[in-house]
């Protein structure tokens, strides 16, 4: 059931609110110029079955501001507000979603397995920090080879700067980003350039400021705890309607904004003992929506459990998510290159673990995990690679460092290219974090903008305490200071300078190879072989299993060591041509040691912290 202010056309609007404990529900229409005055008389909503309240009006137009009051309580914004032009504490605004003139009727979407994802924080991606300002940068992304952008949450949060995970109004597009129309313009422009749009949504908690949901109904429960406080009520009394609220929100983004997929934040903090888990029901509803509208939308989960149930089909008892983030893959590469033993790096750092990540996905599939002090995970070897999104950086991996340092700031340039090659030669869906493609030098730190001074101080204190064990106080910027946010904005002038221009060319070459070589573009493990010898990892992939994909075979050697490696390709007979050597001077390296053509018995020299990619040329 749709909730909120549902404009019907003309001056007709239906207000529907879930407030099961309310004895009375009022609506007022404030005059923003004179707060004590109302533009229309207050009205009473009428109770309906299952805890809903409704009011049908015939004198409401888009742009009308309104507030709601439960019983004799204070007037609050609508929990399902479509727009909060005056922030999280101000009135909600009636919105006409039918007014936008879409031009993407010919858009058929892309298959998730074909995606090259690119994560964007709208506020720091451009100097203007708006959704409209992203549009001119789509040409850059298309040139790079990106065909799917993933937006960090854009629903209304307090103030004007935030990562987005403090959102308080799930249906309202952030006012400082440009509001609903700006998001539609971005999606429409992206589709025109062949770029899909994935939206990050947060259903495990709401932000602490402006969150009045508990005043309206049993949206939260004390039965479970999360790092952010009370958990969302997904399995307690009156949880059916709470679940519907979130289901409707998911469909709202797909229906009204033509979003191609949703990334679900931290699903391991969503607690549900129902026979049909919330996530399985969500996937069922999204699947039904896709069938009705003739285009598949997909769900990507973030999960910290290494549980293949997340991406196992509903018919086999799983949740049915199309994909999930693969943290283990990043952890393997990070630990190998940084040689640190703090946090998760205590559990990683061996080349054979990275080989297992290639072969199976989860590295921890029931083994003892030192940092967790218990056995952890289950095998994902039977799940197809297209169900995993791999990355070297994302907002968490960068922003959760004391100084928000990017990967290129903590490893050398050769190691940085090695990590990129490991990502794009993997059988998984790759994701880049904004600026990664040209080695952005500016950090991405945690930041926020709260109206409550006590909350601001609590955030400052929490950030300091998070890194106290690292003795990194001087690196932890004040998350509330406007300057911290400004320091995180991408420096697009970098593209006019070295080494950033060369790094960009290198990433473009990698993406071109990924798309152009069938052995890399076809995501499978059949025909993939891995070997490990010392610090070197040997990869072989063949294009098989699809009649419409031409034959192809590649071989790669990743040298994660600090010394030159001397080894053979370890392939079958054939002629092999060098497709890429990350150490080549063309890419700013010390110079290639690998021959342009090779045979399996030839011994090659692989520079430290580099990789070579060969493709077979004597097939067919």
Distance CA 501, CA 505 (A): 6
- The answer to whether 552 touches 519, Cβ cutoff 8 Å, is yes
Domains of the chain, CATH where assigned: 4-99 (2.60.40.10), 113-503 (3.20.20.80), 528-616 (2.60.40.1180)
Closest CA to 264 of 318, 330, 310, 227: 310
Catalytic amino acids? 265, 302
- Which tokens go with 495? 């593209």
Residue 47's DSSP bridge partners are 53
Distance CA 403, CA 400 (A): 8
Phi, psi at residue 273, to the nearest 5°?
-100, 10
Given a cut of 70, the residues of the chain with pLDDT beneath it are 35, 470-474, 545-551, 620
pLDDT of res. 344: 76
**Exposure on the CB side of residue 479, measured as CA atoms within 13 A:** 28
pLDDT of res. 465: 87
- The answer to whether 34 touches 46, Cβ cutoff 8 Å, is no
Q: What angle do CA 84, 90, 91 make, to 5 degrees?
A: 70
pLDDT of res. 620: 52
Distance CA 54, CA 6 (A): 11
- Which tokens go with 485? 């946010």
pLDDT of res. 468: 76
- The answer to whether 569 touches 602, Cβ cutoff 8 Å, is yes
pLDDT of res. 51: 96
pLDDT of res. 566: 95
E-strand ranges in 237-277 read: 261-264
65 SS3 class: strand
271-312 pLDDT per residue, tens: 999 999 999 999 999 999 999 999 999 999 999 999 999 999
Burial class (CB in 10 A: 0-12, 13-18, 19+), 158: buried
pTM greater than the 0.95 cutoff: yes
Would you say how long the chain is, in residues?
620
Instruction: Write the DSSP string, 166-182.
Output: T-SEEEEEPGGGTHHHH
Distance CA 216, CA 203 (A): 17
Instruction: Write the DSSP string, 330-362.
Output: HHHHHHHHH---SGGGGG---HHHHHHHHHHS-
pLDDT of res. 104: 97
- Output the CA–CA distances (angstroms, integers) from residue 515 to 152, 261, 323, 425, in the order listed: 25, 21, 20, 11
Distance CA 264, CA 310 (A): 12
Average pLDDT, the chain: 95
pLDDT of res. 551: 67
- CA–chain centroid gap for 143, Å, is 22
């Amino acid at each position: 059931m749709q909730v909120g202010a549902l404009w019907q056309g003309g001056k007709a609007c239906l207000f529907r609110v879930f407030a099961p404990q309310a004895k009375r529900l009022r609506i007022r229409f404030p005059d923003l110029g004179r707060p004590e005055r109302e533009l229309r008389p207050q009205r009473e909503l009428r109770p309906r079955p299952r805890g809903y309240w409704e009011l049908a009006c015939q004198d409401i137009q888009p742009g009308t501001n309104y507030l709601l009051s439960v019983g004799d309580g204070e007037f609050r914004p609508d929990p399902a507000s479509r727009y909060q032009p005056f922030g999280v504490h101000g009135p909600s605004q009636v919105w006409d979603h039918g007014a936008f003139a879409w031009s993407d009727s010919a858009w058929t979407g892309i298959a998730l397995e074909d995606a090259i994802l690119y994560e964007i924080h709208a506020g720091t991606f451009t100097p203007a920090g708006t959704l409209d300002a992203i549009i001119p940068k789509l040409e850059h992304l298309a040139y790079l080879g990106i065909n799917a952008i993933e937006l960090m949450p854009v629903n209304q949060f307090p103030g004007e700067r935030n990562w987005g995970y403090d959102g308080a109004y799930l249906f309202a597009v952030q006012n400082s980003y440009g509001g609903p129309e700006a998001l539609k313009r971005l999606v429409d422009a992206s589709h025109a350039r062949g770029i899909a749009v994935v939206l990050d949504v947060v259903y495990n908690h709401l932000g602490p400021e402006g969150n009045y949901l508990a005043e309206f109904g049993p949206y939260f429960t004390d039965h479970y705890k999360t790092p952010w406080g009370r958990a969302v009520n997904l399995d307690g009394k009156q949880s059916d309607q709470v679940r519907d609220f979130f289901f409707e929100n998911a469909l709202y983004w797909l229906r009204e904004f033509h979003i191609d997929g949703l990334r679900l934040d931290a699903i391991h903090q969503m607690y549900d003992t129902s026979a049909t888990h919330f996530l399985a029901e969500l996937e069922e509803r999204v699947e039904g929506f896709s069938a009705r509208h003739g285009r598949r939308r997909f769900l990507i989960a973030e999960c910290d459990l290494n549980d293949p149930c997340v991406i196992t089909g509903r018919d086999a008892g799983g949740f049915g998510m199309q994909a999930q983030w693969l943290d283990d893959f990043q952890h393997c590469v990070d630990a190998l290159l940084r040689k640190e033993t703090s946090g998760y790096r205590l559990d990683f750092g061996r080349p054979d673990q990275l080989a297992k990540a290639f072969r199976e996905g989860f590295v921890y599939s029931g083994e003892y995990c030192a940092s967790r002090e218990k056995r952890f995970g289950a095998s994902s070897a039977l799940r197809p690679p297209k169900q995993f999104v791999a990355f070297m950086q994302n907002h968490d991996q960068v922003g959760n460092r004391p100084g928000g340092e990017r990967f290129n700031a903590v490893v050398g340039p050769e190691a940085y290219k090695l990590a990129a090659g490991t990502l794009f030669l993997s059988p998984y869906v790759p994701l880049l974090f904004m600026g990664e493609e040209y080695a952005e030098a500016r950090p991405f730190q945690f930041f926020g903008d709260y109206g409550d001074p006590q909350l601001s101080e609590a955030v400052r204190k929490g950030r300091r305490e998070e890194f106290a064990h690292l003795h990194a106080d001087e690196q932890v910027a004040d998350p509330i200071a406007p300057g911290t946010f400004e320091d995180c904005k991408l420096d697009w002038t970098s593209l006019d300078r070295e080494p950033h221009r060369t790094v960009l060319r290198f990433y473009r070459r990698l993406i071109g190879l990924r798309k152009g070589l069938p052995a890399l573009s076809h995501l499978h493990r059949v025909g993939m072989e891995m070997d490990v010898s010392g610090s070197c990892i040997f990869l072989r992939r063949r294009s098989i299993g699809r009649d419409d994909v031409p034959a192809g075979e590649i071989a790669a050697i990743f040298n994660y060591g600090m010394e030159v490696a001397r080894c053979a390709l370890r392939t079958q007979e054939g002629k092999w041509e060098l497709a890429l050597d990350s150490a080549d001077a063309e890419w700013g390296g010390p110079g290639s040691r690998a021959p342009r053509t090779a045979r399996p018995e030839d011994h090659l020299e692989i520079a430290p912290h580099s990789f070579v990619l060969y493709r077979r040329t004597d097939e067919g």
